[in-house]
Amino acid sequence: MAAVSGSVRLQRCVVSPAGRHSASLIFLHGSGDSGQGLKNWIKQVLNQDLAFQHIKIIYPTAPARFKISNDCPEHLESIDVMCQVLTDLINDEVKSGIKKNRILIGGFSMGGCMAMHVAYRNHQDVAGVFALSSFLNKASAVYQALQKRDGALPELFQCHGTADELVLHSWGQETNSALRALGVSTKFHSFPGLFHELSTGELEKLRAWVLAKLPGEMERPKE
């Protein structure tokens, strides 16, 4: 596994903070997309880049992934290689001076699933996790890992369109309930009529949650 991950350097597309870099956000794309593709899609939805004064946004490009279904077994081998590569990315941020509790990880669709694997199985000390139009399948390794956990867990922020025909809204809800039952503090926002896509309202809610989790210098209480 180490040999494989050692040779995999993810291509990444970055939106730098406008001011001093004090936190990082890793945003993972869905199947068949790329980091650049996700960044462009978000820019199209918002009419501007998702950007912050103090938070660097990293959009890595992951290799192709597997079919989406609620009850088919997870392809753990490829998930674990990806977890290792994302661990390297998190470690790069830490080496550059960003604390683990100032890093958020999340994504769209399969990217959100990947983020839940990385955070809840390997990095329970990140600031939070977000999953947009995502789910974990019923026997997910994430659930198994959480049964053995001790200590606090990162909060999960989930959004899902009620009209999603690829990843059903009910799959997202089931994932949320299962994680809550295992001790994860969760937020779940339903978007009526939204398909398997991003919306302005969803990204605005995400932006507000990101700023609540990773406040800038100005918003922090004064010593």
**Per-residue confidence at 223, pLDDT binned at 50, 70, 90?**
very low
**What is the total residue count of the chain?**
223
Q: Which of 21, 133, 164, 169 is catalytic?
A: 164
Query: Catalytic site residue 109?
Result: yes
**According to the model, what pLDDT value does residue 201 have?**
97
Q: What is the pLDDT of residues 50-69, one digit of tens each?
A: 999 999 999 999 876 555 66
Query: Catalytic site residue 125?
Result: no
**According to the model, what pLDDT value does residue 66 have?**
56
| Structural contact between residues 173 and 134, judged by C-beta atoms closer than 8 angstroms | no
Q: What is the rounded average pLDDT of the residues 89-115?
A: 96
**Per-residue confidence at 164, pLDDT binned at 50, 70, 90?**
very high
| Structural contact between residues 187 and 209, judged by C-beta atoms closer than 8 angstroms | yes
Q: What is the rounded average pLDDT of the residues 18-42?
A: 95
**According to the model, what pLDDT value does residue 9 have?**
66
Res. 31: pLDDT tops 70: yes
Q: Which of 21, 22, 29, 109 is catalytic?
A: 109
Res. 178: pLDDT tops 70: yes
Res. 5: pLDDT tops 70: no
Q: What is the pLDDT of residues 180-209, one digit of tens each?
A: 999 999 999 999 999 999 999 999 999 999
Q: Which of 54, 123, 169, 196 is catalytic?
A: 196
Query: Catalytic site residue 33?
Result: no
| Structural contact between residues 182 and 156, judged by C-beta atoms closer than 8 angstroms | no
| Structural contact between residues 112 and 202, judged by C-beta atoms closer than 8 angstroms | no
**According to the model, what pLDDT value does residue 221 have?**
52
**Per-residue confidence at 73, pLDDT binned at 50, 70, 90?**
confident
Question: In b/e form, how buried is each residue of 44-61, taking b as 16+ CB within 10 angstroms?
Answer: ebeeeebebebbbbbbbb
Cα separation, 43 vs 37, in Å, equals 10
Mean pLDDT estimate for the chain: 90
Q: What is the rounded average pLDDT of the residues 111-140?
A: 96
Residue ranges per domain, the chain?
A: 12-213
Q: Candidates 3.40.50.1820, 3.40.50.720, 3.40.50.970, 3.30.2270.10; correct CATH number of 12-213?
A: 3.40.50.1820
Q: What is the rounded average pLDDT of the residues 36-41?
A: 96
**According to the model, what pLDDT value does residue 10 have?**
75
Residue holding tokens 């939204």?
Answer: 194
